[in-house]
Structure 1
Amino acid sequence: MDDMKRDLGDLALFGGRAGFLQPLLVGRPNPVDRARLFARLTWALDNQWLTNGGPLTQEFEQRIAHVAGVRNCVATCNATVALQLLAHAAELTGEVIMPALTFAATAHAVRWLGLEPVFCDIDPLTGCLDPQQVRAALSPRTRAVLGVHLWGRPCDVDGLEKLAADAGIRLFFDAAHAFGSTSAGRPIGRFGDAEVFSFHATKVVHSFEGGAVVTDDDELAHRVRSLHNFGIGLEGVSSAGGTNAKMSEASAAMGLTSLDTFEEVVRHNRKNHEHYRTELSGVPGVTVVGFDENEQNNYQYLIVEIDEEISGLHRDLLLDVLSAENVVAQRYFSPACHQLEPYRSRRETHLPHTERLSARVLALPTGSTVSREDIRRVCDIVRVAATHGGELTARRRRASPGGRWRTPHATAGFQQTRVG
């Protein structure tokens, strides 16, 4: 049966057959070798050491530290708590400068501790913090900068490290997207004072749910490790007291099993990225966001940028088109954090580069469960929609005056499955 989409009448939005019988999702977990996982779980059960820094967690920490090129890794129950532990261990107060183009957990983790997130604009080419914009945002209350390696693309780590040193403030990185990526040939994980990884189920390496703080600062690592276990082992009294943020042996078993296939998953992701670029080459107003070929990347995210001026198609209308075809794409990240409550009403902030990029980008399905044929069919849909963008927009307007894709910032919440 010929299932190729050729014109608007073939789109499910206008009565055509849906491109997929089952939903094709962004962020579907990569499968693991169940025999290996169950063997590790059985060993943990037989060993009767199920949490509190057991052997599997220790092995997981060692392997993560090796990939990151650092001496210390403290595994945690999730990455949001890892960010909070890091802020506590560094005894931060006042303001923390960060990008708004990130998942809300980055800002929430800081605000939950009584710190003030200060949102800063990005470099429009990388989507990451612009050191010049950070410098302009510095105030007497600034105590740290928290960069985000967006979609695995590294921040300007040299520029941010120099700025932090000059200002005498801490520098941390949310590396939730960037495990296995590099900057100037050096592994993500060894920059700033410390970095935080996420091993949530949607990540390229996952532990069901989990995170980690990685650093070469031995004292900082000691404080994080103590605080993640009720403050045990920390001399003196911490104002935080400590909490329970440990990774369980079951999560470590999954993390180790996921690590076993990490390189294979990255190779598959990279091939998927190449297939998308080939299929969407020449499609008007649609650009696959690229990565520096001189650097390593985990290719976990397949991001396209939609230029409405060229295609006549708004990003959110394309989202509707794909949804009707059973392709569950996602906005990464829109609205940006400064456009969301509780931040929008606390401080008026205008970030033109952030707002422009967040309104144009869309994550398409990739990962080891997505095949080349899946990609061909997704790209057929995108090609028809973008090639006939003006006509598609006009038809949708007639059917739904004031269509919701026109006001995404007023109505849309985060739909991503990515959490810290």
Structure 2
Amino acid sequence: MAARPALLGQVPIFEKKVPVAKPVVPEFDGLAQELTQILQSGMLSKGPHVSAFEQMVAEHLAVKHALAVSSCTSGLMLTYQALGLTGDVVVPSFTFMATVGALRWAGLRPIFADVDLATTNLDPSAAEAAITPETSAIVAVHNFGNPADLEELQQVADKHQVHLILDSAHGFGSLYKGEAVGPQGAAHVFSLSATKLLVVGEGGIVATNDDEIAARIRIGREFGNCGDYDSVVPGINARMPEFNALLGQHGLRRLESAVRHRNSIADLYRAQLSFLPGIGFQKVRDGNRSCYKDFSITIDADAFGLTRDELNAALTAENIETRKYYDPPVHRQIAYRRFAPPDLPLPNTELLASRILNLPIWSDMDPSVASGVCVAIERAHEFADAVRAEIKQETLV
């Protein structure tokens, strides 16, 4: 019999908290010379490092244009504006709030569509069913780094003559049918924040093969100003600083090794947890590769013996941090409830939101940490009845 869980009085598996994510950045010594040059030049933005980073990313993604912006959210806002979107936009509710928040900032109405239960990505059939006469675009997400069904979604978009945009916040390092996500659709918008594989602090990339979209975003990120102090569109300040771009250059060189390491951690989780009843894993389509920005499991309480929230409490007692992405889903969040579809239920979204749990993963994570997380989950399952009783008792105190 396994040792008892920490929730039942055992010493926690981990002495210190295991974070759900951890940024991996270059050593200072490797940045010092270039950082000093940036500071001495006085050019903290709109400089050579941003241009060099954009070129590196464009080559990596095999796109004509890679535009550095201040965040993925600002990149989405600028992309929606550059495409001239109006009216309705089909979008999953099972996504991070920024996907939809940027739509509202652009004056657009989100039409929520359900996701595929296995991949957790936007279901092309559900997306098509959600299209209205006022729809101007479909926005899909590479959820947790798992590539969306791009060909099927593009077919739906072409059939209804609407744009396909990819919120690729999780997408750096992901492969769709063996190729980097980025060239597909009207544009991909990537995040470079601290929880991602490619980290610049805060920042984003808009990738597109469309010259006109690229030109509009370049203007939009500069307050809508072409350079003559006469704004042609209502723009924003979405410029990436030089220091962030420097981090990006160094990080891009290590991206492939980061993806491979995360895939090895994902394989470890699957191997050590697959024998436990009631645990499900996100499906990655054949020929695709997830970058595993996040590693998620789903918990069937009847089979596992504990609900997702009860397991989460047990892991917290072991000093293991987790996340419940995305609970609540966007259509149940205060800012967006009025857009919840009364006649278009989202059963897969609701089920995933109630069962999903994201486990710790980062780009240089020691495999022993992942193994310790698996041991904690195994203990919680073996002592499920006692764990549930303890949690119930604590709520009564």
Residue 29 of structure 1 corresponds to 23
In structure 2, which of residues 123, 131, 134 is the aligned counterpart of residue 141 of structure 1?
A: 134
Is the CA contact 1:68–1:180 (under 8 Å) kept in the aligned structure 2? no
Distance in 1 between residues matched to 2:231 and 2:73, nearest whole Å:
20
Give the aligned residue type for 1:272.
Answer: I
CA offset digits 1:308-349 (Å, max 9, x no partner): 121121111111111111111111111111111121244444
Residue 76 of structure 2 corresponds to 83
Which structure 1 segments of 5+ residues have no match? 404-420
Displacement after TM superposition at 1:300 (Å)? 2.5
Q: Aligned pair 1:192/2:188, yes or no?
A: no
In structure 2, which of residues 180, 202, 224 is the aligned counterpart of residue 209 of structure 1?
A: 202
Is the CA contact 1:131–1:159 (under 8 Å) kept in the aligned structure 2? yes
Give the aligned residue type for 1:362.
Answer: L
Give the aligned residue type for 1:242.
Answer: G
Distance in 2 between residues matched to 1:312 and 1:395, nearest whole Å:
14
Distance in 2 between residues matched to 1:382 and 1:347, nearest whole Å:
34
**Larger mean Cα displacement after TM superposition, 190-199 or 132-141:** 132-141
In structure 1, which of residues 333, 351, 359 is the aligned counterpart of residue 346 of structure 2?
A: 351
In structure 1, which of residues 374, 379, 385 is the aligned counterpart of residue 380 of structure 2?
A: 385
Which structure 2 segments of 5+ residues have no match? none
Q: Sequence identity, in percent?
A: 35
In structure 1, which of residues 69, 73, 90 is the aligned counterpart of residue 66 of structure 2?
A: 73
The correspondence of residues 248-397 of structure 1 with structure 2, limited to 5 A, is: 248-292=241-285, 294-349=287-342, 350-397=345-392
CA offset digits 1:269-315 (Å, max 9, x no partner): 12211221222131121234353463233232211121112112111
CA offset digits 1:78-125 (Å, max 9, x no partner): 000000000111111211110001100111111122211111101112
RMSD of Structure 2 on Structure 1 (CA): 2.1
CA offset digits 1:28-54 (Å, max 9, x no partner): 1113232222232112223332102x1
Distance in 1 between residues matched to 2:257 and 2:166, nearest whole Å:
26
Give the aligned residue type for 1:178.
Answer: G
Is the CA contact 1:223–1:234 (under 8 Å) kept in the aligned structure 2? no
Distance in 1 between residues matched to 2:304 and 2:213, nearest whole Å:
50
Distance in 2 between residues matched to 1:154 and 1:346, nearest whole Å:
26
- Going from structure 1 to structure 2, the CA distance change for 1:173 and 1:84 (only over 3 Å counts) comes to same
Is the CA contact 2:278–2:304 (under 8 Å) kept in the aligned structure 1? yes
Using the size of structure 2 for normalisation, the TM-score is 0.94
In structure 2, which of residues 43, 47, 50 is the aligned counterpart of residue 49 of structure 1?
A: 43
Distance in 1 between residues matched to 2:210 and 2:220, nearest whole Å:
15
Give the aligned residue type for 1:202.
Answer: T
SS of the residue aligned with 2:25?
coil
Is the CA contact 2:119–2:283 (under 8 Å) kept in the aligned structure 1? no
- Say how many residue pairs are matched: 395
SS of the residue aligned with 2:335?
coil
Distance in 1 between residues matched to 2:349 and 2:340, nearest whole Å:
16
Give the aligned residue type for 1:358.
Answer: A
Distance in 2 between residues matched to 1:343 and 1:241, nearest whole Å:
25
Residue 119 of structure 1 corresponds to 112
Displacement after TM superposition at 1:133 (Å)? 1.1
Using the size of structure 1 for normalisation, the TM-score is 0.89
